[in-house]
């Protein structure tokens, strides 16, 4: 039996632009990390990833960690939530992987929201399934298994068709009391499609649901070879239930207890607020999902955050290279981010809309990144960067206002993680002002969801029967964690408010661009 002091835990998260793996020890410190850059593809009107690229990326990440793989006790897999991955009884993929980024299920989402009396966002798996049914797509009758990206990888590693409850809550509504899919809504869906005479019922094709620490599987010989063809990673080790990036973000920021919240800001941006009381009514801008233990969470999810900003940073890097300057990527980001702090409070009277893809919160089925300025705008680099950074959080602000102003949800602070917060102070300061709430960042924030799923793997391996995830995190993981908190700055709040007035007015320009500039 392996000596406990040598046990380590491997967490892998398949994010929007990067697959990342971390190994942590029993003190929850990161002892090794690796990564693989990848990008979604826009093919035939669909945002997608090829599953071959999944395994290329995973093998690359594990190959970089070869010295650590022999001491792994438990593995955890996390990935982008939602989307559509259907397979037949022979595990043949029946349709391209339709990711969370797609806004092609409006009809289905609206109909299911009305049928269930529960908000069904366009990116949810059930919306994709029902839209495929409405479209009359032939493959639907052959579906034997429908899952998420994390669920797919976990199935290939263990043979288990399961999901952590947080990831499952982005496929279909969850009954938090039962810790499972909402049985009444499952029945309503089956009645809704009964006339199609499919050979399956919805409950038969969805993954089985487990809360954190339950449903621990085992890495098969075939699964180990998929991750690590060299043989360093041994079969037989434990694999915790797969989770979505929202759940791992909650874990990574110790935001799984009621009245806590976190913000993940990268390619997309979303805020997760663990609720004490139910919301007073349905809001189509607010998703209801769960923590990895099944507690209800109000989620404000926006498809667009840093993609447009990243494109501008890359352009500035190319400009510098044209002049013979060598710029390291991290240094370039830091310099440009910090320049924003020197800009005028409102960004100099300019407008930016960062919609690379559609944005359901504001009713856009597609996106066209835009920048505009008035003749008298103060067009400086500092103001430009401030405006672009403001645009990354503007849509989130609109959704969060529903919770804080209409539902009177109180927050003492929000924990931030993701790429927007990598440059010290800048992203925190802008986010705190935008939402008018203190924003804290932990020293683990740069590791993000990969570290979060590694923590869930450790919890599955180490937990005592009476130890809740909340206690495990507060008493064992975060008890000595350094936290940096930034309070809202009144000057930045006032400047951001002026920017938001332009932003709301400028969405008419975005609508004209989407309608006029066809893909």
Residues 49 and 38 sit within 8 Å (Cβ to Cβ): yes
The owner of tokens 């991750």 is: 227
- Give pLDDT tens digits for 180-205: 999 999 999 999 999 999 999 999 99
CA–CA distance, 146 with 138 (Å, rounded to integer): 15
Q: Decide: 292 and 469 in contact? Cβ < 8 Å.
A: yes
> Which tokens is 505 given?
């007015």
How far apart (Å, rounded) are the C-alpha atoms in residues 384 and 219? 49
Picking from 36, 455, 26, the residue whose alpha carbon sits closest to that of residue 247 is 455
Taking only the tens place, the pLDDT of each residue in 406-423 is 998 888 889 988 889 989
Half-sphere CA count of 206, side-chain side, radius 13 A: 28
4-18, 21-35, 114-128, 426-440, range with the lowest pLDDT: 4-18
Q: Give the whole-angstrom CA distance, residue 255 versus residue 84.
A: 27
- Range in 9-13, 205-209, 383-387, 413-417 with the lowest mean pLDDT: 413-417
* Domains within the chain, CATH numbers bracketed: 1-81+211-253+448-463 (3.30.420.480), 82-147+172-205 (3.30.420.40), 307-442+489-516 (3.30.420.40)
DSSP code of residue 376: T
Q: What separation, in Å, do the N-terminal and C-terminal C-alpha atoms of the chain show?
A: 58
Helix, strand and coil content of the chain, in percent to the nearest 5, comes to 40, 20, 40
Distance CA 344, CA 335 (A): 17
Report residue 360's pLDDT band, with 50, 70 and 90 as the boundaries.
Answer: confident
Per-residue pLDDT for 444 more than 80?
no
- Residues comprising the chain, all counted: 519
- DSSP-assigned states of every residue in 30-71: EEEEEEEE---EEETTEEE--HHHHHHHHHHHHHHTTTTGGG
pLDDT at site 465: 77
| DSSP classification of residue 475 | I
- The whole-number average pLDDT for the span 250-277 is 89
pLDDT one-digit tens code per residue, 268-317? 898 999 988 788 899 988 999 999 999 999 999 999 999 999 999 999 99
Has residue 5 got a pLDDT over 60?
no
| pTM of the predicted model as reported, rounded to 2 decimal places | 0.81
pLDDT of residue 418: 82
pLDDT tens for each residue of 473-495: 999 999 888 889 999 999 999 99
Q: Cα–Cα distance between 72 and 41 in angstroms, integer?
A: 33
Cα angle at 185 between 179 and 187, to 5 degrees? 110
129-166: pLDDT as tens digits: 999 999 999 999 999 999 999 999 999 999 999 999 99
CA distance 416 to 445: 7
């Amino acid at each position: 039996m392996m000596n406990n002091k040598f046990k380590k835990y491997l967490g892998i998260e398949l994010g929007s632009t990067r697959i990342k793996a971390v190994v942590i020890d029993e003190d929850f410190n990161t002892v090794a990390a690796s990564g693989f850059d990848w990008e979604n593809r826009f093919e035939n009107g669909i945002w997608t990833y090829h599953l071959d690229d999944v395994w290329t990326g995973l093998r690359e990440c594990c190959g970089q960690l070869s010295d650590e793989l022999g001491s792994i006790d438990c593995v955890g897999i996390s990935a982008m939530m939602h989307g559509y991955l259907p397979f037949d009884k022979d595990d043949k993929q029946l349709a391209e992987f339709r990711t969370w980024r797609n806004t092609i299920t409006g009809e289905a989402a609206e109909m299911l929201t009305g049928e269930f009396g529960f908000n069904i966002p366009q990116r949810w798996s059930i919306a994709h399934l029902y839209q495929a049914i409405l479209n009359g797509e032939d493959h639907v009758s052959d579906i034997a298994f429908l899952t998420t990206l994390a669920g797919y990888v976990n199935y290939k590693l263990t043979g288990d068709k399961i999901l952590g409850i947080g990831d499952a809550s982005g496929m279909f509504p969850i009954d938090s009391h039962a810790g499972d899919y909402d049985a009444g809504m499952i029945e309503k869906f089956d009645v809704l499609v009964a006339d199609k005479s499919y050979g399956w019922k919805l409950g038969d094709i969805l993954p089985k649901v487990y809360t954190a620490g339950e449903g621990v599987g085992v890495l098969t010989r075939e699964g180990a070879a998929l991750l690590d063809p060299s043989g360093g990673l041994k079969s037989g080790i434990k694999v915790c239930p797969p989770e979505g990036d929202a759940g791992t973000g909650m874990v990574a920021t110790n935001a799984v207890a009621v009245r806590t919240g976190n913000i993940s800001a990268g390619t997309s941006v979303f805020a997760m607020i663990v609720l004490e009381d139910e919301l007073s009514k349905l809001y189509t801008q607010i998703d209801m999902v769960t923590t990895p233990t099944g507690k209800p969470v109000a989620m404000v999810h926006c498809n667009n955050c840093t993609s447009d900003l990243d494109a501008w940073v890359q352009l500035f890097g190319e400009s510098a290279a044209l002049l013979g300057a060598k710029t390291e990527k991290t240094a370039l980001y830091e310099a440009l981010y910090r320049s924003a702090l020197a800009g005028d409070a409102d960004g100099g009277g300019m407008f930016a809309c960062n919609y690379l893809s559609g944005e359901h919160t504001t009713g856009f089925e597609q996106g066209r990144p835009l920048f505009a300025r008035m003749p008298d705008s103060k067009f400086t680099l500092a103001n430009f960067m401030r405006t672009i950074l403001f645009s990354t959080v503007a849509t989130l602000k609109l959704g969060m206002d529903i919770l804080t102003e209409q539902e009177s949800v109180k927050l003492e602070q929000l924990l931030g993680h993701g790429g927007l917060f990598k440059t010290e102070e800048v992203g925190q300061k802008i986010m705190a002002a935008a939402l008018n709430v203190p924003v804290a960042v932990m020293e683990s924030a740069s590791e993000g969801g990969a570290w979060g799923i590694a923590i869930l793997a450790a919890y599955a391996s180490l937990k005592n029967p009476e130890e809740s995830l909340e206690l495990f995190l507060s008493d064992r993981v975060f008890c000595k964690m350094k936290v940096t908190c930034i309070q809202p700055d009144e000057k930045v709040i006032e400047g951001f408010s002026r920017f938001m007035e332009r932003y709301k007015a400028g969405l008419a320009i975005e609508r004209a661009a989407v309608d006029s500039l066809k893909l």
